Every structure is written in C-alpha cells, then in structure tokens.
Amino acid sequence: MDGGTAGRRDFLRRCATTAAVGAAGGGLAWWAYGRQRRPRPAGAVSLDDLAARFARPDLPGAPALVVARDTAIADARGGPIDPAVIERMLARALEPLGTMARFVPRGGSVLVKPNAAFAADPLSGAIADPRTIAAVVKSAFAAGAAEVLVADNPIAAPALVFDRSGIAAAVRAAGGRIVVPDERGFAPVRVTGATVLPDWPAFIAVLARVDAVIGIAPVKDHNLCGASLTMKNWYGLLGGNRSQFHQHIHEVICDLWRLVRPAAPLLVLDGTRVLMRNGPTGGSAADVVVRNTLAVGTDPVAIDAFGVTLLGRDPRAVKYLVDAEAAGFGTLEFARRMREV
Amino acid sequence: MRITLVRRLWQAAFLALFLYLAFMTAGLAARLGALSASASFFLEVDPLVAFGTLCATGQLYHLGAFGLAWALVVFASALVFGRAFCSWVCPFGTTHHAIGSLARPRAAKDRCRRNDYRPAQALKYVVLAGFLGAACLGSVQIGLLDPLCLYHRSLATSLFPLIESAVRAALPGGWIYAGEAPLFQGGWAIGAAALALFLANTALPRFFCRVLCPLGALLGLLSRFALFRIARDESACTRCGMCRAHCEGACDPDGKLRQSECLVCLNCIEDCPHGALSFRLLPRESGARPWPEVRDRRLVLGACVGAVAAPLVRLSGGTERSFSPAAIRPPGAVEELEFLKRCVKCGQCMRVCPTNVLQPALLEAGIEGVWTPVLNMRYGACEKNCALCGQVCPTGAIERLTVAQRNGEAPYPGGDAPVKVKLGTSFYDRGRCLPWAMDIPCVVCEEVCPVSPKAIYSVETMVTTRDGTSLAIKLPRVDPSLCIGCGACEHACPVKDLPAIRVTAAGETRSRGWGTRERGLLLKG
C-alpha cells in the first residue's frame, strides 16, 4: 500500500483500539464518580448497650462503703506495704459487699483501672500503689476471673508509667495483663445524659471485652477541682485532647461517672498514703501523709466524700461531689451508709 | 570451611547484633527502667568517633570501663589486618555489601569492570581531612558520614519507624497494642539520605565505602602499616583479571595491590583460578601501593576547608550569643561549646527517649548542630524521673547522670555539689492562654507541673466578663526559680498548635551547673 493513509482493515483496528481505551477510561471515571461518598466518622457507642453484661446480683442492705484500717500497712514515711496485709484488708472490706465473687463473674474478663497517671514512685502518692493493684488482681482471680486486664491511658508516656511505678511487675506477678493503649484501641463513646462531654474517644477495645470493671484510685489533692478520687480516675479511660476537660472540670467528672455507670464498677480507694498538697503530681515526700486506710464501695459520691475527709477537708466544698449528689449518683452523707471493719 | 563463608557469618552476626541492639534500645529502656545494653558499644569501638572527639576535646571519654578506649581494638586490628573491619564487622558496610551483591551484573566481564579502581575513591581521604580539620577547631561533624553514627541515626529516626508503622498497619485491629509510634522532625530526610546511599550500590558497588566513608579512610591510612595483606605470586598469575569479579574494595588485586582500598573481603583468593593469591604476613614490599593515591596538597586543602568552615559557621552567632530559644538540650547535656565537640549525631538518645521529646535538630542549634538532639515539646515532654539519654551517649555530650543527680538530690561522682538540671524556662503567652485572655478556666499546666512545690501556681482573681458579671478565675504564673523546663505544661496545653505556655532555653543549667551566663536568667537560683 502506498500513500500516507492506512488501509481499511488497519484503520478499523486502530480506531477500535482507541475507542476501547477511551471507553475503559470513561468507564473507570463513571464507576469512581458514582462512588463519591463523604467520609463519615465512626458511630459513637454507649456503654448502655453493654449494661446487660455487667449485671450483678443484688445484695439488700449492703453498705455503700466499707472502710478497713490497719496500723501496720505502711511505715511513717509511707514506705512499702506488706502485700499480705493489704490482701487481708481487701478481703475483709469486701466481705460486707458480698465478696469479690459478687462483682466478678466466674470465667469472666475483668478490667482493673488504676490511677497510673504519672511515671512516679508509688511513695509519692501520685498513683495507686502497685501492691494494692496486685491484691485486687489476685482477688479477682480467686473469685474465678479467667482474665484480668490492667489498663490506663496515663498523662505521661504509658510504657514508662507502668514500668517505673512498678505496676507492670506487680500485675504480671499476680497473673494480670497490662494493656498499653494506642490510638487504635479508642473509638468515640456517647455518654447518655452528658452535660458537657461530647462524643469522645474512649478505650473501647478493653471496655467492650470485659464483664466487670474495678477502679482503684489514690487519695490526692487536685489543683483545680480540689480532690482526685475514684470519680476522676475514669479520666484514664478516655483519649483525645483531654486538656480541654479543665474548662468544665466539675461537669466533666460527673459525665465520667455517667459514662461508666452502666458497667456498675467496684470502687477501691487506696488511702494508705494521701497526697495532701501539690496535687495531682506531688513530687516531694513532704506532700504525703500516711493514713493506713482502704475503702471499697459502689457509691461514688459516698466513697469520694469519705476520701475528701482523709484529705482533712469538707466534702461539700468539692463542687463536683455536690453536683453528683444532686444528680442522684449517691450520697454525701456517707457516714450513715458506711461500715468499718 | 571456606574463608569467605566464615566472613559472611561474621558479617551477619555483627549486623544482627547491631540491628538488635539498636532496635531494643527503645524497648529495653521502657522495660527495665535502666539499660543493660545498647548499640553504644559499636560507637565506642569506632576509631573515628574516638579520634574525632579526641581532636576536639583533647580526651578519650570514658565512664567506667574503657569507653572510647575500646576503639584501640579496631585500631590494632587495622595495624595487623588492614581494613578488615570494613568487610568483617561494620554493619553499614555489610548492608552495602549485600545490596551490591544483589545488583551484580550477570556477565563476568561487567562484574570485573564495576570493580576497577576509580580516582573518585580518593575523595574519602579529603572528606576525612576536612572533618578532622573542623574537629580540631571545636566542631565535630564526623557523625554526618561516620558509618555507625549515620546508620544508627537513620535506623532510629526513620528506618525503624518506617518498618514499625508498616507492621502496625499490617497487624489485625485486635486489642493488643504496642503504644504510639515515635515521630521525628525531618526524619524523612535522614531516611532518604540513607536509602539513596543504599541505592548507589546499584551503580557502583560499595559506593559509600569506596568513595565517601571517612572511617574507611582512617582505617585505609592505618593499613599502610598492616602486617598482613593480600599477596600475589607473580609466577602463577596469568593476569586473567578474574580476581576482580567480586573485589569489594576495587583495589587492583591483579596488579600492584592498593592496600588502603583493600577491604580484606578475601573474595579474590577464592576467585583466582591459579591459586596465585593469598593473605600473608609481611609479603614483599614491591607488590603493593601502601599509600592511597591522593595528593598531599589535596589533604592539606581538605583540612584547611574544615578548619575554616568551623569558625565560619559561627560568625552568624547562634552558638553563644544570639542562641536560639529552641536550642533546648537533653538533661545531662554539657555546656554548648563542649557539646558541639562531643555529639556525633548517632541518635541513640532519640531512640531511647520514652516520651519522643528528643528530636534531631534542624537549625535550632545552628548549621553545625544539625541532627544533634534538641527537645521539642510538641512531640512529648521530658520526664523528670528519667535520665536514659545520658545512659546511651558514647561521647559524654550527655553525661551519664542518675535520676537523683538530675534532680539535684545527689552529688555528682567526683564530688561536685548537687545541682538541679534546668533545661530552660516556661513563659506564658497571655494572649493565647484561656484564663488570661478569654476568661475560661483551665490551669492544666499547673496540674501537670511535676516539681514540688509546683513551679506553676495560680492566683484566684475576680474578673468582669463580657456581660458584666463577676467571675473568680485561676490565673496561672511561673516561678522561674522552680521551673526545670521539662515542658510538661507546654505539651499538655489545650492550645495545641502554638501552646500558650512555651519553654525556651533561657535559664538553662547544663550538667553540674556548668553553663554560660549568656543563657542564664536569674541572678540567684
């Protein structure tokens, strides 16, 4: 074939190829165009949906709060607690509440949430004592738990916190498991009836796995809200930019209880040492006073009000406790529903 | 067993050890609270680290056993076996060796050609002279190209994070978590530089080792005195050139051996079909060129460039006067001029740091401080109960303090009185602070301040709000005599992009309280 144009057969073949490529491109665009979707954040979950799992038997006439004291558990400097003594105290205190077996379903999974906010020495009073945490872990296993997870989302670097404080070693020795948080474990949680807390990232990965929740808080002074006790301890279940909480701290603390209330947690207040000032971080032995006290209960207002008295202060001066009582979370008149053992 | 197999096993063992130690520097730190081992040992046996800091400081740093004196082991090995370190121990060299082997052409002729000597190989001696010239004038820059510093820095700030993030992404979204992955400012550039050097092996095998490596240059100069070297039996040699096929150093084993280039890989001995090559004690002098082919005046010129560059970059200030507010050094760091004589930019402190606050400097510490450690509180805050960075520093740029020494609760070894280390001082930006500027309660800064009594205190003050009502609000302030510059406040501030409280270097004290008045703040305290 001479001349500049292609033959008929050639012409048709090349036109068909071009058309096919064009159609493929257009088809891909058509398909992808139809796929346009606005990225949607994950839907928020609520612990209300899980409430059935956390049901526990009623115990009519049980006290709201049991306080155990012992003169021997810590020396004057707040020095190490004898683990055996703290274990006996815990068992004694849990007796009137129906023992640990009431809170831990046999063969279930338990989340223990200690206050482990800082990479501090336990003697500083800024975190829950590792021996108290270990005693709770052992007690949960003795009550038939299949698995005990110990988790917190601390303010300081998590791995450093658990290792420096001795919590990781004590928990592992007791058979428990430390769960170090990272962003994939968090999903937004919706708090029913929240006053200020919007849908907020919470450590859902552990909350959705367990059948019981136990909080362990030290007794601490706090620079803004007055006292950091069991209600404020739930702060460590949340992620995100928590620094914003201070703007409405009393409301947020009440919302934290609204968040966790469906899990009906057992509350443990570790008053062996009390951080009297410079809280919530402490940092000096002079800030700590030895009280040799352990309190357990189910009423967050009563147990925290008792904790405020360990700080030598008036519970009614702590705004979030007054708010919590008004919201029906519990009673500030803890003395009437308290038992000492 | 074939000698090259033995060599490969040695190489694999040292590479694995190096990678393991570098990897575990982060994990061990968190698990044990104190380190039991780190990759520091590789830096301590590195004669360039020892000699470079010796030129700058006039001393070999050691704390406890040997320290940088371990470098004598490699020094001695060069005097006996030449550059054997490069092909038997150096983990960076082993990595290049492996990549170069993978990129080998098929035809034997092409293989041999890639291993011809090139005049560019003389460049590394000029680089070495330049670095040593700068070191003698107080600016240690060897870490930019020293293979062990370069490799560790790249692993710590980019290659490990790259692998770790890929592994995390690939793991199923279960509920077992490894914690947040660290991030490093400018880490991409450090990683890209290392990957570019790895890629260069496809064009020229062991490009870095042959052309750039200042440690190889130092060992090459020492190998002039080596007792052992490759010897060629001229009566058996047919000049077939097969010995070049796998020659790592491009050192002409079929001619006059270039002793300073020979990496002692011993491949030539096995490749020789006539058995003409051997590794021998004190062979005839005429068979080799003991000295590298580089003109003396080039070396002098290189040293002069380095010696001029060091004071030149300081003419813009920044090191002493007009220091950057962001030049916040880790706890235990020695005084700045001394620091620049010691830091080899290996990045171990950044790897071990459990809070990710330690970052490779961009220009915070001037052009000569690039990739030295500085604190950036937007990545983390310096933990008061931690002194891990000083435990891994091989050169004493960060002194090995205990937590008690860092916090001024125990005297230093040697009897210096206790001094509380201050990294800088916090300052409020009241225009961005929620209570100060917007009548919104906050004081998170006070909450997280870790010293007792707290350096941040707040005073409850009555303010009149927009609608005319009165409000009691806590307004925070800093007590500069108590502030240790840890940055807990800056890191926790809810104003995330440009925090309303920021630490700057003013008021810092270096290790043992040494430091310049230039960076001080208070006349007392």
Q: Does residue A195 belong to any structural domain of this protein?
A: yes
Average pLDDT along chain B: 91
**Residue B286 structure tokens:** 């005429």
Return the higher-pLDDT residue of B522 and B248.
Answer: B248
Q: What is the pLDDT of residue B31?
A: 55
Number of A to B CB contacts under 8 A, please give it: 107
Question: Which pLDDT value is given to residue B64?
Answer: 67
On whether both A280 and A141 belong to a single domain, the answer is yes
Check whether residue A199 and residue A241 sit in a common domain: yes
Domain annotation covers residue A108:
yes
Q: Are residues A6 and A137 in the same domain?
A: no
Domain for residue A224, yes or no?
yes
Q: Has residue A72 got a pLDDT over 70? A: no
B78-132 pLDDT tens trace = 999 999 999 999 999 999 999 999 998 888 888 999 999 999 999 999 999 999 9
pLDDT tens-digit series, residues B4-35: 999 999 999 999 999 999 988 886 555 555 55
Residues A175 and A260 in one domain: yes
- The rounded distance, in Å, linking the Cα atoms of B108 and A261 is 76
Confidence at A3, pLDDT banded by 50, 70, 90: low
Q: Which domain holds residue A30?
A: 1-37
Nearest-by-Cβ selection for A158 from B179, B381, B447:
B179
Contact B443 A286 (CB under 8 A): no
Give the range among A128-132, A201-205, B218-222 with minimum mean pLDDT: A201-205
**What integer pLDDT is reported at residue B37 of this predicted model?**
61
Under DSSP, is residue B350 helix (H, G, I), strand (E, B) or coil?
A: helix
In 3D, which of B412, B501, B416, B415 has the Cα closest to residue B457? B501
A315 and A185 share a domain?
yes
Mean pLDDT across B64-72: 84
Q: Answer yes or no: do A15 and A126 share one domain.
A: no
Residue type, A235: Y
Q: A10 and A79: one domain? A: no
How far is Cα B403 from Cα B384, in angstroms, rounded to an integer? 8
Quick check: A160 and A119 in contact, CB under 8 A? yes
Select, from the ranges A44-58, B168-182, B506-520, the one with the highest average predicted confidence (pLDDT).
Answer: A44-58
Per-residue pLDDT at B211 exceeds 90: yes
A61 and A18, same structural domain?
A: no
CB atoms within 10 A of CB B349: 24
Find, among A201, A105, A112, A178, the residue nearest to A146 by Cα. A105
How many whole angstroms separate alpha carbon A222 and alpha carbon B447?
Answer: 7
Helix or strand holding residue B235 (H, E): none
Write out the residues of chain B at the interface with chain A, using a CB-CB cutoff of 8 A.
30-33, 168, 173, 175-180, 354-356, 380-381, 383-386, 434, 440-444, 446-454, 458, 474, 492-494, 496
- Does residue A42 belong to any structural domain of this protein? no
Average pLDDT over residues A91-99: 94
**Dihedral-angle region of residue A53 (phi above 0 means left; psi in -120 to 50 means alpha; beta otherwise):** alpha
What is d(CA A255, CA A260) in angstroms, rounded to the nearest whole number? 9
Report domain B326-413's class: alpha beta
Please check whether residue A142 lies inside any domain of the structure.
yes
DSSP assignments along A257-319, one per residue: HHHHGGG--EEEEEEEEEE-SSTTT--SGGGEEEEEEEEEES-HHHHHHHHHHHTTS-GGG-H
- Chain B partners within 8 Å of A185 (Cβ): 175, 177
pLDDT of residue A1: 47
Report, as an integer, the average pLDDT of B62-70. Answer: 81
**Do A29 and A65 sit in the same domain of this protein?**
no
Please report, as a single letter, which amino acid is at residue A185: G
Residues of A within 8 A of B383 (CB-CB) are 119, 156-157, 160
Residues with Cβ within 8 Å of residue A271, at least 6 apart in sequence: A218, A219, A291, A292, A293, A294, A295, A307, A310
Would you say residue A314 lies in a domain?
A: yes
**Matching CATH number, B425-504, of 1.10.3470, 3.40.50, 3.40.1620, 3.30.70:** 3.30.70
Do A183 and A165 fall into the same domain? yes
pLDDT of residue A40: 67
B314 three-class SS:
helix
For residue A224, the chain B residues in CB contact (below 8 A) are 441, 443, 446-447, 474
> Into how many domains does chain A fold?
2
Which chain A residues have a beta carbon less than 8 Å from that of B442?
A: 243, 246-247
pLDDT tens, B236-270?
999 999 999 999 999 999 999 999 999 999 999 99
Cβ distance of B443 and A223 shorter than 8 Å = yes
Asked if residue A104 belongs to a domain, the reply is yes
Tens of pLDDT, residue by residue over A295-316, are 999 999 999 999 999 999 999 9
A248 against B66, higher pLDDT: A248
User: What would the pLDDT profile of B385-430 be if each residue is shown by its tens digit?
Assistant: 999 899 889 999 999 899 999 999 998 877 778 889 999 999 999 9
- Is position A289 within any domain? yes
* Pair (A28, A168) in one structural domain: no
Same domain, A153 and A16: no
* Count of beta carbons in the 10 Å neighbourhood of residue A59: 13
Provide CB contacts within 8 A for B402, sequence distance 6+. Answer: B387, B410
- Copy the structure tokens of residue B271: 């490749």
Q: Where are the domains of chain B?
A: 3-30+38-166+185-289, 326-413, 425-504
Q: What is the pLDDT of residues B315-329, one digit of tens each?
A: 988 888 888 999 999
Q: Which of B349, B340, B334, B285 is nearest to B142 (CA)?
A: B340
Out of A119, A206, A282, name the one closest to residue B386 (CB).
Answer: A119
Mean pLDDT, chain A, as a whole number?
A: 91
What CATH number does the domain containing A132 carry?
Answer: 3.40.50.11440
Residue A205 vs residue A211, higher pLDDT: A211
Summarize pLDDT for A139-168 with one digit per residue, the tens: 999 999 999 999 999 988 887 889 889 999
Cα separations (Å) of B248 from B15, B171, B216, B519?
Answer: 17, 39, 13, 50
**Mean pLDDT across B288-300:** 91
